[in-house]
Amino acid sequence: MTDQPAYDEPARPQVHFSPPKGFMNDPNGLVYSNGTWHMYFQYNPNCTVAGGPQWGHATSQDLIHWQNHGLAIESENADESIYSGSAVVDKENTSGLFDDSIGPEERIVAIYTLHSPKKQVQCVAFSRDGGYTFASYQQNPVIDIGSKDFRDPKVFFHKPSSTWIMAVALSHEYQILFYGSKDLLHWTELSRFQAGLVGYQYEVPDLVEMPIEGTTATKWVLFVSINPGAPLGGSMTQYFIGEFDGEKFVPDDYIVRFADYGKDWYASQTWSNTPGNEVIGLAWASNWQYTNEVPTYPWRGCMSVARRMLLRKVRYNREYFGYSLAQFPVNIEQARNLNNAVTADRVDSSTGMKLRTKSGAAELLFYVSGVSLGNRFTDSSTILIELASKSARISIGLRVFETGAHVWLNRKADAAGWHHPLYNDNLSALVIPENMQCPVYKIHGIIDRGLTEIYVNDVVAFTNIHVLPDDEFADTVRVKLDDNLRITQASLYELHSAWTK
Amino acid sequence: MTDQPAYDEPARPQVHFSPPKGFMNDPNGLVYSNGTWHMYFQYNPNCTVAGGPQWGHATSQDLIHWQNHGLAIESENADESIYSGSAVVDKENTSGLFDDSIGPEERIVAIYTLHSPKKQVQCVAFSRDGGYTFASYQQNPVIDIGSKDFRDPKVFFHKPSSTWIMAVALSHEYQILFYGSKDLLHWTELSRFQAGLVGYQYEVPDLVEMPIEGTTATKWVLFVSINPGAPLGGSMTQYFIGEFDGEKFVPDDYIVRFADYGKDWYASQTWSNTPGNEVIGLAWASNWQYTNEVPTYPWRGCMSVARRMLLRKVRYNREYFGYSLAQFPVNIEQARNLNNAVTADRVDSSTGMKLRTKSGAAELLFYVSGVSLGNRFTDSSTILIELASKSARISIGLRVFETGAHVWLNRKADAAGWHHPLYNDNLSALVIPENMQCPVYKIHGIIDRGLTEIYVNDVVAFTNIHVLPDDEFADTVRVKLDDNLRITQASLYELHSAWTK
């Protein structure tokens, strides 16, 4: 296992995973096995710019604390790279790659894209030690359609048809292809899907059977990432809700939904083989528009927190109710420093809230209510969350209007002297409250040095990196509010660094 | 006819339509008749904040110079408003609302939404003088489904079925409803359509038979606007490409396309009865997120320039070619001041380009080529267009990378002391060149005091307002470029104010 560095650089997230050094992007091969959460990832350990990715590897027992394991899958030829893919536990040895000496939970099969200048093909690697070391399948590739842009296989076991199903992007045709296999090695195309925002290309699909909150029913969710050409610029992940019968994904509608409304949540993937079949996933928290130029050193790139996901029936407007992804940070409460926390049943404009942290990581959780507005066009009320460092400030606000609210972020990097034409200073997303007469907004935030995730009512996730001066992180969190708003059940916690030994 | 004010306020666009005073939003009732382009619009003449809209009216002979005519359609009751809608020339008197004393081109029928607190219904008003004065149809409403959110009828005559077709939004159900009528007065529902981005609600649909460039063929394009909840925040217009058989719009695919990639181009509408059936349309150049607070006085709101539209088969990426809306400003050359212009066959980094204007309005047109890049992740080349006023600056850039370019805008309003949390300082859109080996980018810009429209390769339109200090407009346009780029066939023109007598 490789050394664990201090992880204390000012921009270094404390409760989010990032590699010790080098450049990281997409999460790969997310698989739970024997009590351990494995995460592989697109990794260039040699420098802080993308290029020639291999699979890095880290593990966690709680999805908060991570241990680095260096490279897990490396390409054999200099002009080849190990692009994104997934991993499963082949408990029944359907692949025949294991024998009885290998415990069922140790039988890990990774399915990834082998990239070369000529083409992209799908390959298999397998691990007989539960995911720590891999060998290449001798008859690779397992799928080769002669395409240069055919990648990011995500595989899961579909019980009703006893078949392994792969979702994979025929990127430049804007098609998600579904393949079926009995052994993870021989694959047959089943169907294709296309819809929504397309940008320059499709990437990293993920088809997931998603629980519907409060029921025993499920729906299928298909995640499709695009880059570049997202509406906000660069990279984003959309999803579709529908049914999957083992052959074909049929969406309930052709509505395009956003998995995250921020600028930095891309190439999401969910874990396979999770306890209780919970859906837990995360994404790379960056954007190809500027990821290679963001001023962090000696690493670039980090993951969002792991999120438990489900579908919730929510209000879209005065009359329409539909499903939406609801997302919940997993185990973040384990990182709370209860000795440095502020809680209050009620907060008003005269008091506000304030917390100073040593770690630069904080969690906030509260409910906003009490909105009473006049003219719907000009009057609005604001909750302001300020993240202050010595010389700079990031602002997050909720601008409440008659029928909803805009959650916004101002992450101007002027104080850091860092400018990038494609790094949007201001971003916003719409939130519709469940009760339009007495709106309540639940705000759950994880503020973590160079990265902030905000969840409003669990259904609007808003993840954005930010850039502060080199030697600073925001150690002070302030919450301010207008007279006609109130905050209830408020908590503001320092979060312990997950990297401190 | 109402007085024509000076139209010389520093933020006042000179070649774009804006009302003399009051608040304007959606274009309505766009109809060409007898050599005159009529434009009605959502209008509150009483103050610079939206509320209780009626139909304002302006006319033009060339779509550049406009004459104001005050209010054309007013509501009869204080709690009712005249919401958006369209107008047609009922040459054949299908409605029976006219008689032989009225020339065929004078027979104007407007179909609009009557909004009241109880519900929204579709109504008819008719003009026997070619669109200057209107009378209400006595049997109004012509469609009433008891909905509170059912609006923005756009009507056209479908020749193959000899039927008037209406597209109208059942806003909160995210459905575009199609109705048919033989007489503009009795309507039957034909079909419904739903897809794409939905935001809070659907508004202002427009179904148009669109010529395919270089052919005699056509396709049907359905425009659907959403607000709030656009990906960039607030308001935007998406479109779908497909076929319409007189009853049902069937999209060729469920790809979501953007009519304009900027933040300020909403509620577009196309003219009916145009010469040669050309498709010419425009949109409101603002965004509901901040339109009521933008610092202009004594008016708020302006229109984009009129654009000729068609479909062009374009490259989406290395392998995929598909249709895209191509848009061309109409008659803008008529506003050029040829005595204050800069033209050059070739411009390089040592010279750049510069023009100083008196009007604060300018047009630029050039081609960028000569890109040669190294590492695709970090190297890029930039064209920079600076709009400078006395104390402030707006920057527009093209950041060219290996497979395409991001056109970006920095419209920071700091110098104006104006801040709005939902007014994005930085925006960008992706452009893919037709020839990826030798990329060429055509840049066509209309810079007009408080508003800039940029068209890249005709297919990426990028329209954004901007805010400069109260007493300033950008009178200087500078074009700068990197060493490894070159500009050819360059023109930079001052534009005459269309409002000067």
Of chain B residues 408-437, which have a CB less than 8 A from chain A?
Answer: 408, 410, 412, 421-430, 432
Q: What are phi and psi of B457, to 5 degrees?
A: 55, 25
Is residue B448 within 8 A of residue B361, CB to CB? The reply is: yes
Residue A378: pLDDT band by 50, 70, 90 thresholds?
low
Of chain A residues 77-136, which have a CB less than 8 A from chain B?
Answer: none
Nearest to A256 among B197, B261, B316 (CB): B197
The answer, yes or no, to whether residue B41 has pLDDT greater than 90, is yes
The answer, yes or no, to whether residue B373 has pLDDT greater than 70, is no
ipTM of the complex: 0.96
Query: DSSP code of A161?
Result: G
Q: Which amino acid appears at position B375 of this protein?
A: N
Please name the residue that has the structure tokens 């339509």.
Answer: B17
Residue B179: pLDDT band by 50, 70, 90 thresholds?
very high
**Cα–Cα distance, A338 to A359 (Å, whole number):** 13
Which positions of B are catalytic?
Answer: 26, 203
**Cα–Cα distance, B144 to B3 (Å, whole number):** 38
3-state class (DSSP) for residue B279: strand
Q: Taking residues A396-413, report their average pLDDT.
A: 92
Instruction: Find the radius of gyration of the CA atoms of chain A.
Output: 22
Residues of chain A neighbouring B403 (CB-CB closer than 8 A): 200
Is residue A165 within 8 A of residue A158, CB to CB? The reply is: yes
**Cα–Cα distance, B448 to B223 (Å, whole number):** 26
**Cα–Cα distance, B238 to B224 (Å, whole number):** 5
Joined together, the tokens standing for residue A327 give: 């997302």
**Cα–Cα distance, A411 to A422 (Å, whole number):** 13
CA dihedral A270, A276, A278, A284 (to 10 degrees): -30
Q: Taking residues A42-47, report their average pLDDT.
A: 96
Q: Taking residues A94-120, report their average pLDDT.
A: 97
Q: What is the pLDDT of residue A372?
A: 57
Q: What are phi and psi of B172, to 5 degrees?
A: -85, -10
CA dihedral B238, B141, B192, A406 (to 10 degrees): 40
The continuous run of DSSP H or E covering B378 comes out as none
The answer, yes or no, to whether residue A2 has pLDDT greater than 60, is no
B463 Cβ contact list (under 8 Å, min separation 6): B260, B262, B264, B265, B283, B285, B304, B451, B452, B453, B454
Residues of chain A neighbouring B318 (CB-CB closer than 8 A): 148-149, 172
Nearest to A254 among B49, B196, B230 (CB): B196
Select from B99, B191, B104, B109 the least CA-distant residue to B142: B109
CA dihedral B214, B218, B220, B225 (to 10 degrees): 30
**Cα–Cα distance, B259 to B237 (Å, whole number):** 6
The continuous run of DSSP H or E covering A487 comes out as strand A486-495
Select from B298, B258, B271, B315 the least CA-distant residue to B463: B258
Give chain B's length: 501
The answer, yes or no, to whether residue B251 has pLDDT greater than 80, is yes
Residue A403: pLDDT band by 50, 70, 90 thresholds?
confident
- Domains of chain B in start order, with CATH, are 22-304 (2.115.10.20), 335-495 (2.60.120.560)
Q: Mutate which of A193, A198, A263, A398 to disrupt the B interface (most B C-beta within 10 Å)?
A: A198
Select from B208, B335, B211, B219 the least CA-distant residue to B281: B208
The answer, yes or no, to whether residue A499 has pLDDT greater than 80, is yes
Is residue A454 within 8 A of residue A444, CB to CB? The reply is: yes
Of chain A residues 343-402, which have a CB less than 8 A from chain B?
Answer: 375, 377-378, 382, 395, 397, 399
Cross-chain residue pair A428–B410, CB shorter than 8 Å:
no
Is residue B260 within 8 A of residue B281, CB to CB? The reply is: no
Is residue B86 within 8 A of residue B205, CB to CB? The reply is: no
Is A50 touching B (CB cutoff 8 A)?
yes
A94 Cβ contact list (under 8 Å, min separation 6): A164, A182, A183, A184
Tell me: the pLDDT tens digits for B14-39? 999 999 999 999 999 999 999 999 99
Q: Which amino acid appears at position B428 of this protein?
A: S
The answer, yes or no, to whether residue A375 has pLDDT greater than 80, is no
Percentage of residues in chain A with pLDDT exceeding 90? 92
**Cα–Cα distance, A254 to B296 (Å, whole number):** 39
Alpha carbon distances (Å) from B354 to B384, B478, B493: 12, 4, 10
Is residue B409 within 8 A of residue B426, CB to CB? The reply is: yes
Q: Taking residues B459-463, report their average pLDDT.
A: 98
Q: Between β-strands A299-300 and A22-33, what pairing exists: parallel, antiparallel or unpaired? A: parallel
Residue A1: pLDDT band by 50, 70, 90 thresholds?
very low
Is B501 touching A (CB cutoff 8 A)?
no
Q: Mutate which of A81, A319, A396, A456 to disrupt the B interface (most B C-beta within 10 Å)?
A: A319
Higher pLDDT, B3 or B131: B131
Is residue A168 within 8 A of residue A191, CB to CB? The reply is: no
**Cα–Cα distance, B452 to B460 (Å, whole number):** 14
Of chain B residues 436-495, which have a CB less than 8 A from chain A?
Answer: none
Tell me: the pLDDT tens digits for A55-69? 999 999 999 999 999
Residues of chain A neighbouring B424 (CB-CB closer than 8 A): 424-428
Give chain A's length: 501
Residue B437: pLDDT band by 50, 70, 90 thresholds?
confident
Residue A484: pLDDT band by 50, 70, 90 thresholds?
confident
Exposure pattern of B397-434 as b/e (b: 16+ CB <10 Å)?
bbbbbebbbbbbbbbbbebbebebbbbbbbbbbbbbbe
Q: Which of A134-138, A169-173, B418-422 has the lowest mean pLDDT?
A: B418-422
| Residue B149 Cα, gap to closest chain A Cα (Å) | 9
**Cα–Cα distance, A483 to A381 (Å, whole number):** 8
The answer, yes or no, to whether residue A388 has pLDDT greater than 60, is yes
Nearest to B430 among A228, A425, A426 (CB): A228
Q: What is the pLDDT of residue B2?
A: 47
Percentage of residues in chain B with pLDDT exceeding 70? 97
Query: DSSP code of A78?
Result: T
3-state class (DSSP) for residue B289: coil
Q: What is the pLDDT of residue B375?
A: 46
3-state class (DSSP) for residue A99: coil
Select from B364, B253, B379, B377 the least CA-distant residue to B316: B253
Q: What are phi and psi of B277, to 5 degrees?
A: 55, 25
Cross-chain residue pair A232–B231, CB shorter than 8 Å:
yes
B441 Cβ contact list (under 8 Å, min separation 6): B367, B368, B369, B383, B398, B400, B405, B431, B433, B456, B457
Q: Which of A172-176, A186-190, A382-386 has the lowest mean pLDDT?
A: A382-386
Query: DSSP code of A387?
Result: E
- Asked if A483 is an active-site residue, the reply is no
Joined together, the tokens standing for residue A48 give: 């802080």
Q: Tell me what the pLDDT averaged over chain A comes to.
A: 95
Select from A463, A364, A363 the least CA-distant residue to A411: A463
B415 Cβ contact list (under 8 Å, min separation 6): B391, B392, B393, B468, B469
**Cα–Cα distance, B467 to B392 (Å, whole number):** 10
Three-state SS string over B345-369 comes to: EEECCCCCEEEECCCCEEEEEEEEE
Tell me: the pLDDT tens digits for B43-82? 999 999 999 999 999 999 999 999 999 999 999 999 999 9
Tell me: the pLDDT tens digits for A149-162? 999 999 999 999 99
Cross-chain residue pair B399–A406, CB shorter than 8 Å:
no
Residue-by-residue DSSP string for A290-354: TTTTS--SSEE--BPPPEEEEEEEEE-SSS-EEEEEEEEESSGGGGEEEEEEEEEEEE-TTT-EE
Tell me: the pLDDT tens digits for B316-335? 999 999 999 999 999 999 99
The answer, yes or no, to whether residue B268 has pLDDT greater than 60, is yes
Q: Tell me what the pLDDT averaged over chain B comes to.
A: 95
Cross-chain residue pair A318–B149, CB shorter than 8 Å:
yes
A185 Cβ contact list (under 8 Å, min separation 6): A95, A96, A124, A137, A139, A142
Q: What is the pLDDT of residue A374?
A: 45
**Cα–Cα distance, A112 to A110 (Å, whole number):** 6
Nearest to B319 among A149, A195, A198 (CB): A149
Residue B3: pLDDT band by 50, 70, 90 thresholds?
low
